Structure 1
Amino acid sequence: MNPILNLLSLLGIVGLCFIAWLGSEDRRVIPWKVIFWGIGLQMVVGLIVFGLGSSLIEGLSNLLNVVLDASEAGAKFLFGGASSMLVAEPNFAAGPGPAGRWIARTVGTPFVAVAGDRLSPDNLNPGFAYVLAFRALPQVIFFSGLVSLLYRLNLIQPVVKWFAIIFQKTMNISGAESMAGAANIFLGIESAIAIKPFLLDMTRSELCAILTSCFGSIASSVLALYAGLLRPTFPSIAGHLVSASIMTIPACFVMSKLLIPETGDPKTLGHIPEDEEGESSERPNPMDSLIGGALDGVKMAVGIAAAIIAILGMVALINAVFTTISTVVLGASPSGEPSLITEFFANPLANLMGMLFLPLTFLTGVSLDWQELWSCSLVLGRRLFETNIPPYQQLGRLALSGEISDRALLIISYALCGFTHFASYGIFIGGLSGLIPERRNEIASLGFKALWAGTLATLMSGCIAGLFDIGNAAVLGR
């Protein structure tokens, strides 16, 4: 534990609010009540997660891990059964058994570990230890169906309304944006459907708050995907992703109201609008809800796969172009060693984003060590172009190799928990515009402001995690 880092995380909360205020449309209007209560709610959640209720998070993680394991049953059946190497057991290492490894050491060259090697003599061939397409994407389909079923059984709506009431009463924001923010703990842009009758008459500040909530939180359908990427090094990650989703919503209201203060008169101020349900005869039965949700999950999984292929391909193409230009124009250094410029152009987008996010990463209190700080900044910076999946994968690799501390793993896992990347921009802007096409231009003008507010909100959640982190490895579930 380093109290200086905890203090830095606390100051980072203030610093992020100041950065948001600098970009405000009206700096004279400061939403003090939203700021104090928004940060206060985050503090309460942080105290429960890292102080009073660490066992609660561990229990929640264990429960979610059971659901995560169950979500792989269908994928195992489709891709090879119980012995499938494409969807292997989490602790199963594909490769030669004990007898095969003994023969290999006796007859062949003995295994010798080298610096940075993550293999051991008992794990000579990890094989298909984790294939994203066969492990993570089926979980998206399963969780989408599960959430749809829970909504049909009316098990999630009371929780959403409870959170909405807390947000509305404490921060004195409108009921409609409170409801949308609370629903974002479980959903994505679909959360706006519940308040569709009020969207057309919403103020500019309300619309920005709704979009920011979409960017700053994660839908439960992708929770399994992110949890699976970090579970080997962060066993209780599932519970922490849930707490991060809850914690970030108040931060989204803080940042959005700082960027676009409320100067209008919201129609739902002071009360929570009712979620109008259709007639029972028109509602699908539970099985239809499960299958329909799974089909929606298929669309989401295909969209995720398509986005990853297209975006990572473009990033690789841009990097290749810049690498070629730097080699031709700059040439090699006289000593034959790569220069700082050629190293930068070898991976220009990641390095540029790392440079831009470096001050923000520092404010989270991740570390005072330059190399660790830079590694974390690179991870955070990648999210903007590459979505959350490659950064979470890289974070897991850094933690497994010991290149970052447990504190950095904890903070960055919270700071990454959101949809603050360009791939989601079109989804959220297009989705909300489709509900109120009359205000399409205004929504488009709010898009990048909301993306920026959501980014600051996720970083604030990282600050909360850094503030309450005391170096207890049990928080990670180890």
Structure 2
Amino acid sequence: MSALQIQSGLGLLALALLAWVLGGCRRGVPWRVILAGLVLQIVLAAALLHIAPLRAAFALIGRAVDALAAATKEGTTLVFGYLGGGPLPFAEPFPGAGFILFFQGLPLVLVVGALSALLYHWRILPVVVAALAKVLSGTLGIGGATGFSVAANVFVGMVEAPLLIRPWLARLTTSEMFVVMTAGLATISGNMLVVYAFMIAPVVPDAAGQLLVASLIAAPASIVAALLMIPPRPGEVPDAGEQAEAPRLYDSAMEAVVRGTMDGLQLLFGIMAMLIVFVALVALVNMVLEPVTGLTLQVIAAWLFWPLAFAMGVPLEHVGTVAQSLGIKVVVNEFVSYLQLATSGGQGLDGRSRLILTYALCGFTNFGSVGIMLGGMTAMVPERRADIVRLGLPALVAAMIACCMTGAVVGMLVAP
């Protein structure tokens, strides 16, 4: 085991300690569950990264993403012509000059949204989620409804997963509610997984499989971080046998395709608007900061997140670059961080550091996502509004720690 792998292992323990300290070092932390959660992260990652048949299975996911991208290009070319990826009517001045994100990258959200809805209607997705929920509930002792929501977050967003357990939401304990919220921010939806895999495929081998592994590991990581910060109160025992079931959302396959497409359209325009606004706001703040202090938000973020980057086992010469990407993820969103990783040719990072960063960025851990989650969950259970709002920012912190835990785990298992 190399020195950097040992650094990642010690960093994983340091991140767990950080979550405990930030939670106020509260009593009642279920240490057996915490240990089981840490072991489960390592076992899952080791199995998915090093067992040949599983690696081959995840390689197929990359081919599926390529197929989805090619199929989507057929549609965008028909609708948008050369803007959507068709033959250019002029000579391309440099490679990539003809790529327009909104017309060629983001439409994948529409296709994946329709496909996800169809898989849900055919009960394929609910079966997978239920199986993962049983693993989480059985090994980590969380309630069935909480486990179902966490498992669903591997495939859907931070609002859709709690919606699947809406009948149980009002009855969740504070600790369980915090687990649900943390998991929502520590993972990404299937729609965005495909988009990000398409973006970073040139610089991260087997990008789709790696992102899915990251989201799977983030499930137990989010439970560990959440329980360390806000453990169950004395005498508060979750009903581990209570198992939620995915409700039927569509009456037919055609309705699933239509509604999935419409939901994807709303998400596509939301992404576009958020990118424009947040990038513009960061640029505006930098216009004020830089002339006065000589600093930008990106530089400040690199300082603040330096310890987290180091804890994941990144070499010293690359810590600043990784820290800056983590900061951009929190201040703006992970889309911009992945886009920067893709367009910069890997930002000068070695392969292992790029992989660690890919895992650490895999989560909706940003202020905009917190606002979306709070709006959605308070609408579902207005009677728990005070609890949900109070837990919003702590959930962002716990989710960020959980994402860095996934980076540390992969750092342990991948040699320099």
TM-score of the alignment, normalized to the shorter chain, above 0.5: yes
Find the aligned partners of 1:459 and 1:277 in 2 and give their Cα distance: 33
Tell me which residue corresponds to 1:147: 116
Paired residue secondary structure (1:141): helix
Tell me which residue corresponds to 2:392: 447
1:244 to 214, 223, 226: 214
> By how many angstroms is 1:125 displaced?
2.2
1:357 to 305, 315, 318: 305
Find the aligned partners of 1:304 and 1:398 in 2 and give their Cα distance: 21
> By how many angstroms is 1:88 displaced?
5.5
Tell me which residue corresponds to 1:287: 254
> By how many angstroms is 1:267 displaced?
7.6
Which runs of structure 1 show a deviation greater than 4 angstroms over 4 or more consecutive aligned residues? 93-96, 264-268
Q: Is the 8 A contact 1:160 1:179 kept in 2?
A: yes
* TM-score of the two chains, using structure 1 as the length reference: 0.82
Q: Could you tell me which amino acid in structure 2 is paired with residue 47 of structure 1?
A: A
> By how many angstroms is 1:273 displaced?
2.1
Q: Is the 8 A contact 2:83 2:103 kept in 1?
A: no
Q: Could you tell me which amino acid in structure 1 is paired with residue 6 of structure 2?
A: L
Tell me which residue corresponds to 1:390: 336
Kindly tell me the number of residue pairs found equivalent between the two proteins.
413
Find the aligned partners of 1:229 and 1:41 in 2 and give their Cα distance: 29
Q: Tell me if 1:316 matches 2:303.
A: no
Find the aligned partners of 1:400 and 1:250 in 2 and give their Cα distance: 28
Tell me which residue corresponds to 2:268: 301
Tell me which residue corresponds to 2:23: 24
2:192 to 178, 198, 222: 222
Q: Is the 8 A contact 1:85 1:129 kept in 2?
A: yes
> By how many angstroms is 1:145 displaced?
1.2
Find the aligned partners of 1:8 and 1:136 in 2 and give their Cα distance: 36
Q: Is the 8 A contact 1:34 1:253 kept in 2?
A: no
Paired residue secondary structure (2:313): coil
> By how many angstroms is 1:95 displaced?
6.7
Q: Tell me if 1:378 matches 2:352.
A: no
Find the aligned partners of 1:34 and 1:68 in 2 and give their Cα distance: 40
Q: Is the 8 A contact 2:298 2:328 kept in 1?
A: yes
Find the aligned partners of 1:17 and 1:94 in 2 and give their Cα distance: 55
Tell me which residue corresponds to 2:243: 273
Q: Is the 8 A contact 1:95 1:127 kept in 2?
A: no
Q: Tell me if 1:174 matches 2:143.
A: yes
Find the aligned partners of 2:89 and 2:359 in 1 and give their Cα distance: 31
Query: Percent of aligned pairs with the same residue?
Result: 31
Tell me which residue corresponds to 1:416: 361
Tell me which residue corresponds to 2:85: 87
Find the aligned partners of 2:152 and 2:236 in 1 and give their Cα distance: 19
Find the aligned partners of 1:251 and 1:222 in 2 and give their Cα distance: 20
Q: Could you tell me which amino acid in structure 1 is paired with residue 211 of structure 2?
A: L
| Structure 1 residue ranges without an equivalent (≥5) | 97-122, 327-341, 472-478
Cα deviations by residue, 1:170-210 (Å, 9 ceiling, x for unpaired): 01111111000001111111111221111111110000000
Find the aligned partners of 1:61 and 1:272 in 2 and give their Cα distance: 36
Q: Could you tell me which amino acid in structure 1 is paired with residue 327 of structure 2?
A: G
Find the aligned partners of 2:160 and 2:190 in 1 and give their Cα distance: 12
Find the aligned partners of 1:190 and 1:127 in 2 and give their Cα distance: 35
Q: Is the 8 A contact 2:26 2:230 kept in 1?
A: no
Find the aligned partners of 1:128 and 1:272 in 2 and give their Cα distance: 54
Q: Is the 8 A contact 1:85 1:94 kept in 2?
A: no
**Cα distance change of structure 1 residues 94 and 126 upon mapping to structure 2, 3 Å threshold:** farther
Q: Is the 8 A contact 1:85 1:128 kept in 2?
A: no
> By how many angstroms is 1:266 displaced?
6.2
Q: Tell me if 1:36 matches 2:3.
A: no
Paired residue secondary structure (1:75): helix
Paired residue secondary structure (2:349): coil
1:100-139 maps to which residues of 2 (within 5 A)? 125-126=94-95, 128-139=97-108
Find the aligned partners of 1:287 and 1:300 in 2 and give their Cα distance: 20
> By how many angstroms is 1:64 displaced?
3.0
Which has the higher Rg, Structure 1 or Structure 2?
Answer: 1
Q: Is the 8 A contact 1:42 1:251 kept in 2?
A: yes
Paired residue secondary structure (1:258): helix
**Cα distance change of structure 1 residues 461 and 285 upon mapping to structure 2, 3 Å threshold:** same
Q: Comparing 377-386 with 129-138, which one deviates more in the overlay? A: 129-138
Cα deviations by residue, 1:18-52 (Å, 9 ceiling, x for unpaired): 00000125522222122122112211221123211
Tell me which residue corresponds to 2:59: 58
For the aligned residues, what is the CA RMSD?
A: 2.1
Cα deviations by residue, 1:302-323 (Å, 9 ceiling, x for unpaired): 1111111111111111111123
Q: Is the 8 A contact 1:195 1:273 kept in 2?
A: no
Tell me which residue corresponds to 1:208: 178
Cα deviations by residue, 1:43-99 (Å, 9 ceiling, x for unpaired): 12211232113333223322332223323332222111xxx254259xxx9975xxx
* TM-score of the two chains, using structure 2 as the length reference: 0.94
Q: Is the 8 A contact 1:94 1:128 kept in 2?
A: no
Cα deviations by residue, 1:102-158 (Å, 9 ceiling, x for unpaired): xxxxxxxxxxxxxxxxxxxxx962253432111222111111111111101111111
**Cα distance change of structure 1 residues 365 and 244 upon mapping to structure 2, 3 Å threshold:** same
Structure having the larger proportion of residues in helix: 2
> By how many angstroms is 1:268 displaced?
5.6
Q: Comparing 351-360 with 63-72, which one deviates more in the overlay? A: 63-72
Q: Tell me if 1:429 matches 2:374.
A: yes
Find the aligned partners of 2:144 and 2:258 in 1 and give their Cα distance: 32
1:261 to 226, 231, 234: 231
Tell me which residue corresponds to 2:77: 76
Q: Is the 8 A contact 1:94 1:129 kept in 2?
A: no
Paired residue secondary structure (1:72): helix
Paired residue secondary structure (1:79): helix
